[in-house]
């Protein structure tokens, strides 16, 4: 693979950009791989990349039923932070945030990481206490975050209505090194770097059945033929329950729509990410000037990738209350993704009842920020059979009651 660089851009400019090669290939799927990954979202692609990069396992196929990043990875609002409460979460999200800082250089692909800072407002006494507890826990875990008061919030975000008609802003949890990145660039960057190391990325290839032999995984049947494998990892977010059923076991996952919308572009007015969880809305401004807006998840299970109308209304009402200057904006577009929710709002990275079949899911409303760390830990679990970071997120926690409760840190109403 040729390096992307300023020189490459200059060279191509001189020859009408005719010399760029494909970022990744379009291989016909082979009939056997050592390791198969189902799902070409950020987590599946990052897992493939770190299998090759960290463990030298390159006989890997990634099977994606649609296009890369066409699931939640390309539908999310790109918030990156690591200010979670419990030690296992702090470990994986901070690993991830740290990897994001270097990812453009590591992948030689500009993922437009923008550490602009993430502010989570406290608009009730209860929320204020919760963030105070999180700030203490973060300090113990070595994560930089701080509790800030209304004056500092006014400086960080002049457009905020501090007095608030219903919920005045009492303070907030500020993570200065949080931020955002370009979501589909993360998928494309991992895909390109993994393909360069020998991984086959196969799009338009839906897995329709999972074959087992004597309790072990044997392979998959797909819309492009049968493929055998030694190891299989299911990384399909909202469709995890469907794939687990194909393999003969059940997951403690519910699939619900989470939606987002963007406004028409306006001049720069917000240079941080703000989450107002009491009123159920959050907002940032994209490089194009659009206000990127989201709220809580839908209240019923479904697979529609749309979201319900009343949620748009509720979210916008909450944000107009918090940022009155957006009241005259027009909505440009709206979309939804199907998120995979666990009861404790923490992910599952685990072996399964089927030998050599692994699962990575349950990221719910918050897995974009986790892509690098999750891929790193999942690759290590697959390669070595165990991993310290992934360990606490194993499936058996639901059987023995070792929950990792992140319902507050998840920060999106469910
Ligand atoms: P996906 O990106 O969904 O990838 C799974 C892939 O599996 C899909 O491409 C799908 O086509 C494929 N697949 C499914 N079934 C099959 C099959 N049978 N065969 C082959 N392929 C199959 N997280 C944050 O950290 N910050 C945010 O600000 C944030 N905002 C969000 C806003 C919205 C509106 C949504 C919907 C989500 C948000 N999230 C956020 C959550 C985040 O997007 C997800 O947790 C993350 O993208 C999950 O990545 P993934 O790779 O696991 O899943
Ligand atoms: O996990 O920070 C998050 C998040 C914000 C919006 C959706 N998820």
Q: CA-CA distances (angstroms) from residue 379 to 47, 337, 396?
A: 5, 25, 19
* Atom 18 of ligand 1: nearest residue by CA position: 207
Confidence of residue 361 (pLDDT cuts 50, 70, 90): very high
Q: DSSP code of 85?
A: S
What are 112's two structure tokens? Answer: 């437009």
What's the CATH superfamily of 118-178+255-341? D-Amino Acid Oxidase, subunit A, domain 2 (3.30.9.10)
Out of 282, 292, 338, 409, mutate this one to test ligand 2's pocket (max ligand atoms within 8 Å of CB): namely 282
pLDDT at 413 over 90: no
Percentages of the chain per state (helix, strand, coil), in multiples of 5: 35, 25, 40
Kindly tell me if the per-residue pLDDT of 248 is higher than 80.
yes
Q: Which residues contact 107 (CB under 8 A, 6 or more apart)?
A: 49, 189, 190, 192, 193
Domain ranges in the chain with CATH number 3.50.50.60: 29-82+84-107+183-252+344-410
For a ligand 2 pocket test, name from 362, 406, 412 the mutation site with the most ligand atoms within 8 angstroms of its C-beta.
Answer: 412
Dist. CA 277–CA 281, nearest whole Å = 6
pLDDT tens profile 297-343: 988 899 998 888 888 999 999 999 999 999 999 999 999 999 999 99
Ligand 2 atom at minimal distance to the Cα of residue 80:
2
How many beta carbons lie within 10 A of that of residue 16, not counting itself?
A: 7
Handedness of CA 403, 366, 253, 354 (dihedral sign): negative
Please report the pLDDT score of residue 306 as a whole number. 87
Cβ partners under 8 Å of residue 266, min gap 6: 285, 289, 291, 329
Distance of CA 162 from the midpoint of ligand 2 (Å): 22
Distances from the Cα of 14 to the Cαs of 4, 9, 21, 109, in angstroms?
A: 15, 9, 16, 21
Q: State the Cα–Cα distance between residues 380 and 56, nearest whole angstrom.
A: 11
Q: Closest-lying ligand to the alpha carbon of 74? A: 1
State the pLDDT confidence band at 165, using cuts at 50, 70 and 90: confident
Q: Which DSSP string do the residues of 287-346 spell out, in sequence order?
A: TTSPEEEEEEEEEEE---SS--HHHHHHHHHHHHHH-GGGGGPPEEEEEEEEEEE-TTS-
- Give yes or no for residue 414 having a pLDDT over 80: no
Q: Are 359 and 250 a contacting pair, CB within 8 Å?
A: no
- 279 CA to middle of ligand 1, Å? 25
Nearest CA to ligand 1 atom 37: 76
> Does ligand 1 lie within 6 Å of residue 36's CB atom?
no
Which of 327, 332, 318 is closest to 274 using CA atoms?
A: 318
Ligand 1 atom index nearest CA of 66: 11
Please compute the mean of the pLDDT values over residues 151-170 and round it to a whole number. Answer: 95
Which part of the chain is CATH 3.30.9.10?
118-178+255-341
Best residue among 256, 307, 337, 366 to mutate for probing ligand 2's pocket (most ligand atoms within 8 Å of CB) is 366
DSSP lists the bridge partners of residue 222 as: 207, 225
**Average pLDDT score over the chain:** 96
Mean pLDDT, to the nearest integer, of 145-171? 96
| pLDDT above 80: residue 195 | yes
Banded pLDDT at 19 (limits 50, 70, 90): very high
Quick one: pLDDT at residue 233? 99
Question: Which residue CA neighbors atom 35 of ligand 1 most closely?
Answer: 76
Rounded Cα distance, 24 and 17, in Å: 17
Homologous superfamily of domain range 29-82+84-107+183-252+344-410: FAD/NAD(P)-binding domain (3.50.50.60)
Q: Is 227 helix (H, G, I), strand (E, B) or coil?
A: strand
* 272 HSE (CA, 13 A, CB side): 23
Q: Does any ligand 2 atom lie closer than 6 A to the CB of residue 294? A: yes
């Amino acid at each position: 693979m040729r390096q992307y660089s300023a020189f490459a851009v200059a060279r191509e400019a001189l020859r009408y950009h005719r010399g760029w090669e494909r970022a990744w290939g379009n291989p016909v799927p082979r009939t056997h791989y050592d390791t198969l990954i189902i799902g070409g979202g950020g987590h599946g692609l990052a897992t493939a990349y770190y299998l090759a990069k960290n463990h030298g396992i390159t006989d890997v196929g990634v099977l994606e039923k649609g296009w890369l990043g066409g699931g939640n990875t390309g539908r999310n609002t790109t918030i990156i932070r690591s200010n979670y409460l419990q030690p296992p979460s702090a470990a994986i999200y901070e690993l991830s945030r740290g990897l994001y800082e270097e990812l453009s250089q590591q992948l030689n692909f500009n993922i437009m990481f923008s550490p602009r800072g993430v502010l989570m407002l406290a608009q009730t006494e209860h929320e204020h206490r919760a963030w105070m507890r999180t700030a203490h826990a973060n300090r113990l875990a070595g994560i930089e975050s701080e509790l800030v008061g209304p004056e500092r919030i006014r400086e960080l975000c002049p457009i905020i209505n501090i007095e608030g008609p219903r919920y005045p802003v009492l303070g907030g949890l500020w993570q200065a090194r949080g931020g955002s990145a370009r979501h589909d660039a993360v998928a494309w960057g991992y895909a390109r770097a993994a393909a360069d190391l020998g991984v086959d990325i196969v799009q338009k290839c839906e897995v329709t059945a999972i074959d087992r032999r004597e309790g072990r995984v044997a392979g998959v049947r797909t819309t492009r033929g049968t493929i055998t494998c030694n190891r299989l990892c299911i990384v399909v977010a909202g469709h995890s329950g469907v794939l687990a059923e194909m393999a003969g076991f059940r997951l403690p996952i519910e699939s619900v729509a989470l939606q987002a919308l963007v406004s028409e572009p306006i001049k720069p007015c917000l240079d941080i990410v703000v989450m107002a969880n009491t009123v159920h809305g959050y907002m940032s401004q994209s490089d194009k000037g659009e206000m990127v807006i989201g709220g809580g998840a839908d209240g019923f299970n479904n697979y529609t990738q749309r979201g319900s109308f009343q949620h748009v209304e509720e979210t916008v009402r909450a944000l107009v209350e918090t940022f009155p200057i957006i009241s005259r904006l027009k909505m440009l577009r709206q979309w939804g993704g199907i998120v995979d929710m666990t009861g404790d709002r923490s992910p599952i990275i685990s072996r399964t009842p089927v030998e050599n079949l692994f699962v990575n899911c349950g990221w719910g409303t918050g897995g974009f920020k986790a892509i690098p760390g999750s891929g790193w830990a999942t690759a290590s679990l697959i390669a070595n059979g165990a991993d310290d970071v992934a360990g606490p997120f194993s499936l058996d926690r639901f059987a023995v009651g070792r929950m990792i409760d992140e319902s507050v840190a998840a920060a999106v109403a469910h």
